[in-house]
């Protein structure tokens, strides 16, 4: 799931691993990454596709965790 979200958003893996639910605006279909977590130190707004939003809603409903190990494992399998 993490790898699919990375591909859908073109975000950096570190940004995705540290994402918080409070940063996701389901009504506006946008993920706002705070400046403190961005390499350029500027807030970044990531538009979310319908598929990305559906995936997030499913993860939230099932309380699926995203961890550094999960992301690394996905990359190693490629």
CB distance 8 to 49 below 8 Å: yes
The tens digit of pLDDT for each residue in 37-66 reads 888 889 999 999 999 999 999 888 877 655
67: domain CATH number?
1.10.443.10
Domain count, the chain: 1
Host H or E run for residue 25: strand 24-25
- Predicted pLDDT at 26: 96
- Domain range for residue 26? 2-77
pTM assigned to the model: 0.75
């Amino acid at each position: 799931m993490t790898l699919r979200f990375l591909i859908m958003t073109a975000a950096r893996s570190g940004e995705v691993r540290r994402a918080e639910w409070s940063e996701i605006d389901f009504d506006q279909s946008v993920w706002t990454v705070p400046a403190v977590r961005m390499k350029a130190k500027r807030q970044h707004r990531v538009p979310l596709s319908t598929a990305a939003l559906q995936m997030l809603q499913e993860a939230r409903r099932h309380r699926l965790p995203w961890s550094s190990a999960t992301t690394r494992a996905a990359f190693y399998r490629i």
